[in-house]
Amino acid sequence: MVEEKFPDGSAWMGGEFINLSEAKISVLDWGFLRSDATYDVVHVWNNRFFRLDHHIDRFYSSTKKLRMPCKIERTELKRILAGCVKRSNLKNSYVEMIQTRGMSPTFDRDPRKSTPRFIAFAIPFGWILKPENFNKGLDLAISTVKRISPESVDPKIKNYHWLDLVIGMYEAYDKGHYTTVLVDNNNNVLEGPGFNIFSVDDQGLNTPLSGVLEGITRQTAIDLAKELKIPTKEISITSEKFKNSKEAFATSTAGGIIPITKIDGKVIGNGTMGTITSKIKDLYWAKHTDPDWSECVEDLL
Q: What is the binding site for its own copies (CB under 8 A)? A: 1-2, 4-7, 11, 13-16, 20-21, 23-28, 31-37, 66-67, 98, 101, 103, 105-107, 109-112, 119, 121, 123-124, 126, 128, 145-149, 151-154, 157, 159-167, 169-170, 173, 185, 193-194, 254
Work out how close the CB of 232 gets to its own copies at its nearest, in angstroms, rounded to a whole number. 27
Residue 60 or 293: which CB sits closer to its own copies? 60
**In this structure, what DSSP letter does residue 136 have?**
T
**Number of CB atoms found within 10 A of residue 74's CB:** 13
Residue 175 or 266: which CB sits closer to its own copies? 175
Residue 26 or 203: which CB sits closer to its own copies? 26
Coil, helix or strand for 33? helix
Work out how close the CB of 244 gets to its own copies at its nearest, in angstroms, rounded to a whole number. 25
Residue 43, φ and ψ in degrees, nearest 5: -115, 155
Q: How do 189-192 and 256-263 pair as beta strands?
A: unpaired
The β-bridge partners of 188 are: 238
Cα separation of 22 and 19, whole Å? 5
Dihedral sign computed on CA atoms, order 186, 223, 232, 137: negative
Residue 33 or 296: which CB sits closer to its own copies? 33
Cα separation of 19 and 221, whole Å? 34
Work out how close the CB of 128 gets to its own copies at its nearest, in angstroms, rounded to a whole number. 7
Cβ neighbors of 163 (< 8 A, separation 6 or more) are none
Residue 35 or 61: which CB sits closer to its own copies? 35
Work out how close the CB of 270 gets to its own copies at its nearest, in angstroms, rounded to a whole number. 27
Work out how close the CB of 289 gets to its own copies at its nearest, in angstroms, rounded to a whole number. 26
Residue 95 or 276: which CB sits closer to its own copies? 95
How many residues in the chain?
301
Q: How far is CA 147 from CA 168, 189, 216, 289, in A?
A: 9, 9, 19, 35
Work out how close the CB of 106 gets to its own copies at its nearest, in angstroms, rounded to a whole number. 6
